[in-house]
Amino acid sequence: MTRRSKQPGDLFIEESGQLRLVDRSVEQQALEKGKVKCLGMTFDSEDKRRAYFTDRLREKLADPEFRKTPGFPKGTDDDIIRMSDAPWYTACPNPFLVDFVRVYGKPYDPKERYERDPFAVDTSVGKTDALYKAHGYHTKVPHLAIVPSILHYTEPGDIVLDGFAGSGMTGVAAQWCGSAPAGYRKQLEADWSKQGLPKPKWGARRAVLNDLGPAATFIAANYTLPFDVRAFSKGAEQILAEVQQEVGWMYETLHTDGKSKGTINFTVWSEIFSCPHCGGEVNFVKEALDPVTKKVHSNFPCPHCSAELSKESLDRIFDSALDPSTNQYSKKVRLRPSFINYSIGRVNYEKAPTSKDLEVLEKISALPVPAELPIVPFPIEEMYHGSRIAPKGFTYVHHLFLPRIAHTLALFWRKARDFKDPSLSLILRFWVDSHILNLSIQNRYRPEVSFPYNPLSGVYYVSSMISEASPFTAYRNKAKRITTAFVQQGATGANAITSTGTASTLRLQSNSVDYIFTDPPFGSNIFYADLNFLIEAWHRVITNANAEAIVDSFKGKGILEYQALMRACFEEYGRVLKPGRWMTVVFSNSANAVWRAIQEALGTAGFVVADVRTLDKQQGSYRQVTSTAVKQDLVISVYKPTEALAERFALGTSSPETAWAFVAEHLAHVPIFSSVEGVADVIAERTAHVLHDRMVAFHVQRQLSVPLSTAAFLGGLNQRYPERDGMYFLATQVTEYDRKRNTAAELRQLSLFVIDEASAIQWVRRELQDKPRSFQDLQPAFMREIQNWAKHEQTVELKEILRQNCIHYDGNGPVPSQIHSYLSTNFKELRNLAKDDPALTAKAADRWYVPDPGKQGDLEKLREKALLTEFETYKQAKERKLKLFRTEAVRAGFKAAYDGQDYKTIVSVAAKLPESVLQEDEKLLMYYDVASMRLGDD
């Protein structure tokens, strides 16, 4: 069975799922007569393997129930089969996933010992790698950035899943763990040794890839399916030669001497406008583009009346004509060729189109429409970017291809699709697919940029200056790049299987996956289904956008709909991932509402966040992120609770024991020590209040009562776990922390921004924790900190915060231990004095301090009573939206309503809050989400 080769001509045979290099001259005959193994079955040849699984797929497609699978793409049976290579890749939900995991995976063993710490990676590593650049996609985390995570969390042969696989880089990374070159291995091992990490276990992992978009899974499959590189190169050369022979005349032009023939490199087309002053035609390229400097002038004179013009002042001209493809009249902006760039030998020239050039274009336009050209209307009304192309008249896919390119592309596509060797058809279409966008009229002419392909990324947009590039140059260069990239990758077996459908319905066994790496869509960053439509129209298999997890008003999807869709996907992730195993989520959005939605979706799906990091580009190290999202990629490490912990909640009840069982497991998953440049970091997940919030969320998101009050939890935390630097550890962890902490010169505290009452309380407690002070001493600093107080947040005076959260010593009675400790440490004259000594009491009088957990409970009860009184006014408020309120009061009210199973109150008060507040507050969102689900269930 021929596979990718390290050297052209090398052959590999698959034995027990592994590839062995065979000598072509000696074993050629034996290889050709050898058996093909696939999913535990043996076939006489690759053709018989393909025929068998194609028949099984066709049978499955004939089942109406199968086609009702959520996220099933739009396409006929024949088109889906033509796009697929069963069982390794299907352009629909893959019915062979269960067999893949059964044959290659390892059954879940609850007795298996598995321990890993969170691990973060630089998601930008590898963006210049040849393999990464072999085919473009909207967003891609490079495979070289994913490899370290897979090595850290898995063993050779483990199953790795990516349900939002995009172009399949997770699959490439899984294979790369077994084929990485020696130099890469040596460097990574050296880096890990410096970080104190164990030596990685090299060897390929098996990957299960899934994406909603057929355009994405087609790329992913070709990235991970083995093929004969040398045969591909020959096939591409053959197609190039055949297409050149058939339509090469379309790209010929006469030199200005009228004798020599030149080959067109690109033709620049211009949008034609009219002058608002005289009505004369204005060729934008001819009038605005400087022919010498190649710069576009902002202002230029009208060629007819000399009035000063700018692009904004021009009026568009439209042409109406019968579209032979649809047999309907269409109205599109007027485009004309402005100049031609061509070559004679190695010398490039430019000229204006001659009458003969225009005759060639007219001849091409009169040709019958090629069958391969997709005549499909864009779903303009459902497209966010439809408003960019529809006003110019581009409402069908074929509108985005000029006639010459349309005929050439159709010919390339036909020859790749119908290639005589069916084993190469997929990779040849991958080759053609890679330049379709660049050859459309979305390719802008940008003379100041040397790169020839310049469509705007992430949007449909047709410029007023269009570059119609030569497809021969494009595909000749791309074939070389693909050949080079995949030869360098080395030999890989069929270690990946790809499916097309929603991540909320994976056809996998429960507890069957060893690790998940995923880069899901975030909010409204990228409209994948819309952007993929152009390419998928050529395949004739279209994304089912109903299942797309996205924020898109054109499709009626807001942040809450997005959160529900993401929750469904994460719940499926939780079902298939083995207990105690990890998932890495890459987050790429600076919107806090989306970040909160992701956190809530993860929690309600059963996952627990253990660590969130972002790369500090200047120092090359990772920093934890605790609250708001940032304008950088975040690496979120989450785990699925162990089976032992899950069993404690199996009866749907909670108790203090369940709370402490969760804390123990969570502490076991959180990093023990973190430092940058010799400065230790406070690990947020180990602080008391974050541990409390995690414990509460763990219960609420499972719709269970919270068994411990804040005071009881904080008191128990101090009794059960050793504390260091404000962080809590398991008894088995504290020795390691002490040892590493001694290597750090100082401790960096968590950054804190005071924007509301909750953060103000944290600030006050931090200020008073080690230095009890009077109100007068604290007030000036407090006033400076609250300058960024949220507009919706009712102002709470410092006196109120102190009264509800701290204790005041008025000078009567013995000096409290917290104040005594501070004074005796910082004032020599007060050392070794009794707590009732007059000198000590005089110095201690009028200071506020943070109470010990034993007294915290009384304060908590008084504060909760005041907050609930405030919440009652919000319940009774007649206004539709609350403009000013205490978020802490709403949180307390939501908690009380949840404890009393009063879900309607939560939902009704939530409706009065500004949408942004609800979406960006993780506690409010958590209670609202659970309440909404409970009301929906009733």
Looking at residue 857, its pLDDT comes to: 73
698: burial class by Cβ within 10 Å (0-12, 13-18, 19+)?
Answer: buried
- Residue type present at position 426: L
- Residues 890-908 have a mean pLDDT of 94
Return the higher-pLDDT residue of 620 and 724: 724
Q: Do residues 500 and 211 touch, judged by C-beta distance below 8 A?
A: yes
Percentage of residues of the chain with pLDDT beyond 90: 65
Q: Do residues 51 and 530 touch, judged by C-beta distance below 8 A?
A: no
Q: Lowest mean pLDDT of 209-223, 274-288, 561-575, 627-641, name the range.
A: 627-641
Nearest-angstrom CA–CA distance, 150 and 142: 13
pLDDT at residue 44 greater than cutoff 50 = yes
Is residue 383 very low, low, confident or very high in pLDDT (cuts 50, 70, 90)? Answer: confident
Looking at residue 8, its pLDDT comes to: 35
Nearest-angstrom CA–CA distance, 541 and 912: 44
Q: Lowest mean pLDDT of 141-155, 482-496, 554-568, 728-742, name the range.
A: 482-496
Looking at residue 386, its pLDDT comes to: 67
Average per-residue pLDDT in the chain?
Answer: 89
Neighbours of 748 (CB within 10 A): 15
Is residue 88 very low, low, confident or very high in pLDDT (cuts 50, 70, 90)? Answer: very high
Cα dihedral value 274, 280, 284, 286, nearest 10 = 170
Is residue 22 very low, low, confident or very high in pLDDT (cuts 50, 70, 90)? Answer: very low
Q: Lowest mean pLDDT of 490-494, 657-661, 841-845, name the range.
A: 490-494
The pLDDT tens digits for 305-363 are: 999 999 999 999 999 999 989 999 999 999 999 999 999 999 999 999 999 999 999 99
- Residues 416-422 have a mean pLDDT of 93
pLDDT at residue 646 greater than cutoff 80 = yes
Q: Which two tokens stand for residue 895?
A: 């908690």
Report the range out of 6-15, 27-36, 645-654 with the highest average pLDDT. 645-654
Nearest-angstrom CA–CA distance, 844 and 809: 7
Looking at residue 800, its pLDDT comes to: 92
pLDDT at residue 670 greater than cutoff 70 = yes
Looking at residue 19, its pLDDT comes to: 41
Looking at residue 626, its pLDDT comes to: 54
- Residues 700-712 have a mean pLDDT of 88
Looking at residue 255, its pLDDT comes to: 96
The pLDDT tens digits for 536-552 are: 999 999 999 998 888 88
Instruction: Please give the domain boundaries of the chain with CATH numbers for all domains.
Output: 35-107+117-226+494-604 (3.40.50.150), 231-484 (no CATH), 649-751 (no CATH), 811-845 (no CATH)
- Residues 811-818 have a mean pLDDT of 92
Helix (H, G, I), strand (E, B) or coil at 787: helix
Is residue 229 very low, low, confident or very high in pLDDT (cuts 50, 70, 90)? Answer: very high
Q: Which two tokens stand for residue 543?
A: 């994304």
- Residues 50-67 have a mean pLDDT of 96
Q: Counting runs of H as helices and runs of E as strands, what totals does the chain give?
A: 34, 30
Return the higher-pLDDT residue of 582 and 754: 582
Looking at residue 155, its pLDDT comes to: 96
Looking at residue 659, its pLDDT comes to: 93
Looking at residue 491, its pLDDT comes to: 43
Is residue 10 very low, low, confident or very high in pLDDT (cuts 50, 70, 90)? Answer: very low
DSSP letters, 534-598, are HHHHHHT-B--GGG----BGGGTB-HHHHHHHHHHHHHHHHHHBPTT-EEEEEE----HHHHHHH
Query: Where are the strands (E) in 275-403, listed by range?
Result: 281-283, 299-301, 308-310, 315-316, 318-323, 328-333, 335-344, 347-351
The pLDDT tens digits for 104-124 are: 999 999 999 999 999 887 777
Inter-residue long-range contacts of 873-876, CB under 8 Å, 24+ positions, other chains counted: 874/909, 874/912, 875/905, 875/908, 875/909
- Residues 516-533 have a mean pLDDT of 88
Q: How far apart are the first and last CA of the chain?
A: 57
Looking at residue 16, its pLDDT comes to: 43
Percentage of residues of the chain with pLDDT beyond 70: 93
Nearest-angstrom CA–CA distance, 480 and 237: 10
Looking at residue 590, its pLDDT comes to: 59
Looking at residue 476, its pLDDT comes to: 96
Is residue 936 very low, low, confident or very high in pLDDT (cuts 50, 70, 90)? Answer: confident
The pLDDT tens digits for 726-761 are: 899 999 999 999 999 998 888 887 777 888 898 899
The pLDDT tens digits for 143-165 are: 999 999 999 999 999 999 999 99
- Residues 814-829 have a mean pLDDT of 91
pLDDT at residue 12 greater than cutoff 70 = no
Looking at residue 473, its pLDDT comes to: 95
Nearest-angstrom CA–CA distance, 702 and 679: 38
Looking at residue 18, its pLDDT comes to: 42
The pLDDT tens digits for 247-287 are: 999 999 999 998 899 999 999 999 999 999 999 999 999 99
Looking at residue 25, its pLDDT comes to: 34
Looking up tokens 């949220």 gives 790
- Residues 166-177 have a mean pLDDT of 94
Q: Which two tokens stand for residue 555?
A: 């499709």
pLDDT at residue 2 greater than cutoff 50 = no
Question: HSE on the CB side for 807, CA within 13 Å?
Answer: 20
Put simply, whether the predicted model's pTM sits higher than 0.85 gets the answer yes
Looking at residue 35, its pLDDT comes to: 81
